[in-house]
Amino acid sequence: MQQRVSHLRRAVVAEVEDINRLIYHVLRAGVVVSVAILVFGFVLVAFTGHSIPDRSIPPRALGQPLYTFTPEGYLSLGVLILIFTPVVRVLLSLVSFARERDRQYVLMTAIVFANLLVSFFLLA
């Protein structure tokens, strides 16, 4: 039974293009790293006696709070990493469609990526 299942699964894997593995790792890593940094931020809250911050730090001003190990810095960094995980995923899809020379999907992914950039830089 187990063997049959793995056989069927392989059949599916072979048919669906296998960038899946890479996307899995990127999405997983993004969340896990983000959660680890956030937990570290709460550890800093517990040990430094800072109160839990209630305002996020803009990306440009992150250097100083990270360097001085304040909870504000690490909690903001964790949140930012999470926000950018889907963006990295879209970029990755762009590369993989380009490698497959699938022009239609390169175009579509590029539009999605451009839309994300528009909302990050023009609307923010």
> What are the Cα distances from residue 51, in Å, to 42, 47, 69, 89?
10, 11, 14, 34
Q: Which residues contact 64 (CB under 8 A, 6 or more apart)?
A: 73
Q: Tell me the closest approach of the beta carbon of residue 19 to other proteins, in angstroms.
A: 8
> Binding string to other proteins for residues 53 to 82, with x set by CB under 8 A, is what?
xxxxxxx------------x--xx-xxx-x
Helices (H), the chain: 2-15, 20-48, 63-67, 71-99, 103-118
With CB under 8 A as the rule, give the number of residues binding other proteins: 63
Handedness of CA 38, 43, 48, 54 (dihedral sign): positive
Distance CA 114, CA 94 (A): 11
Q: Which of residues 12-41 bind other proteins (CB under 8 A)?
A: 12-13, 15-17, 19-21, 23-25, 27-28, 30-31, 34-35, 38-39, 41
Site residues, other proteins (CB under 8 A): 4-5, 8-9, 11-13, 15-17, 19-21, 23-25, 27-28, 30-31, 34-35, 38-39, 41-42, 52-59, 72, 75-76, 78-80, 82-87, 89-90, 93, 97, 104-105, 108-109, 111-112, 115-116, 118-120, 123-124
